[in-house]
Amino acid sequence: MTIQKPVFVTSAIPYVNAEPHLGHALELVQSDAIARHQRSLGRDLNFTSGTDDNSLKNVRAAQALGTTPAELVARHGADFRRLAQALNVVHDDFIHTASDARHAPAVHALWQRCWDNGDVYKKSYRGSYCVGCEHFLRESEIVEGGCAVHAEALEVLEEENWFFRLSRYEKPILRAIREERLQILPRERKHEVLQFIAGGLDDFSISRSRARAKGWGISVPGDDTQIVYVWFDALANYLSVLGYPNGERFQRYWQDAGERWHVIGKDIVRFHALYWPGILLSADLPLPTSLRVHGHITNQGKKIGKSAGNAVDPFRLVARYGVDAVRYYLLAHLHTTKDGDFREDLLRTAYSSELAGKLGNLLQRVGALVERHRVSIVTADLDAPLCEVAQQTETRVTRALDEFALHEALRAIFELVAAGNRYVDASAPWSLAKSGDVPALEHCLSSLVHVLRVTARLLAPFLPTTAHEIEARLEPRPRLGPPLFPALARE
């Protein structure tokens, strides 16, 4: 018997310079679906997230509001925790990098490992800096004098910082990616990273002057004039949340884990595919095994963002449509790895037509027929073609999850629901009941109950509340209940 090793799943930790928006909700529910699926397989899993507190963006946001960075990150950090709870995202741990006592010691320990290996040195540097990205841009990355992602103007900075010898690890990183020891999904993101490496990996600054950071952040060990660069700080959260450099959880879920997965947005691939592996190699620590890179949510074609002024409030959507309807829209109607435009009218349509009209309707029809005609539900002698569709669906869902195509998994599940509804129409169980053909009625309804049970099991990682309610309605025997998705009140 093969013993499965532990799995570590993380989402990125976002900046907390403003309230969370729908883009943050997308990554939370994607990573939660992955974690729930792994748990359903019986895997020993640890699933974490948190907030990225020690950034210049947070300092400037606090200044603009006339408050302190500590107060700002505490307030917005609580908002991000609240968002995870509102979306029914179940973390094993959640870290705030400014206030969690585990974090600074872990950052210092990681820095020391890199220092001891000769990969940290000091030099003067001048370059164009994007505060939104929190990094210096190459000349080839500057578009019309600015950043392609963020609207704010670039800042030309010149100062003496500590640097990390990323160039030393160019070949090992390249081998890890090519050999799929560091898997990057989807493949186009892998190709982008390989193209970037082909241009050569430069050493990068891993500190900022205390003056420019306004004293906010973690001090560089042995140099109080410098603050640890936010990305070195932030990436270390994947270790600090596990108790690095010591502790059973760090050993279990990083050192000895069979899988280490980061679910991230496409705009931070470089940091996770290049900077993070370089730091880990320097520190003689295992690399992540997979980067699962999602697209962005757009609003009228523009990326949703705090600075863009087009953010969509996820709390309002959950209050209006319910948590599983929002999860369904994000996971099923937005392509997992490509950009997708948010449209509330499509969310309403998905709620009414697909969740209520297809899934809810199938459960109501089957529950009503079983309850009315008191049919015995059996697990043998089921409709072979319908059971074959259910089995094929299970295979498709597993493959889609493995390929980080969550939208494809939900498409397959709802095609099974559609097959169930077609089977009801074609079999006409009400006619079978009227004719008194009890064996045929039992065969028909038992087959439909089987489909609903499979549907509930497959839906559980994506729509956990809905899946639980379906299972509850089917056991110990199917029964009629209130609509899974009641009609929406008029706004």
Active site includes 133?
yes
Give the residue from 433, 450, 326 showing the smallest Cα distance to 382: 450
Active site includes 303?
yes
Contacting residues for 480 by C-beta, under 8 A, at least 6 apart? 364, 367, 368, 371
Active site includes 21?
yes
Active site includes 387?
no
Measured CA distances, 75 to 27, 28, 198 (Å): 21, 19, 42
Catalytic: which of 103, 130, 294, 407? Answer: 130
Measured CA distances, 112 to 105, 279, 283 (Å): 10, 11, 8
Active site includes 444?
no
Catalytic: which of 76, 103, 114, 133? Answer: 133
- Strand pairing category for 223-228 and 207-209: antiparallel
Whether the CB-CB separation of 252 and 205 falls below 8 Å is answered with: no
Catalytic: which of 24, 96, 443, 450? Answer: 24
3-class secondary-structure state, position 245: coil
DSSP string, 260-311: EEEEEEGGGHHIIIIIHHHHHHHTT-PPPSEEEEE--EEETTEE--TTTT--
Q: What is the dihedral of CA 345, 351, 354, 357, to 10 degrees?
A: -120
Measured between alpha carbons, how far is 70 from 109 in angstroms, rounded to an integer? 23
Catalytic: which of 21, 91, 190, 262? Answer: 21
Catalytic: which of 37, 135, 150, 190? Answer: 150
Question: How many distinct helices (H) and strands (E) make up the chain?
Answer: 20, 18
Catalytic: which of 103, 108, 135, 303? Answer: 303
Whether the CB-CB separation of 286 and 261 falls below 8 Å is answered with: no
Catalytic: which of 37, 147, 190, 443? Answer: 147
Active site includes 57?
no
Neighbours of 274 (CB within 10 A): 21
Active site includes 24?
yes
Active site includes 37?
no
- Enzyme catalytic residues: 21, 24, 130, 133, 147, 150, 303, 306
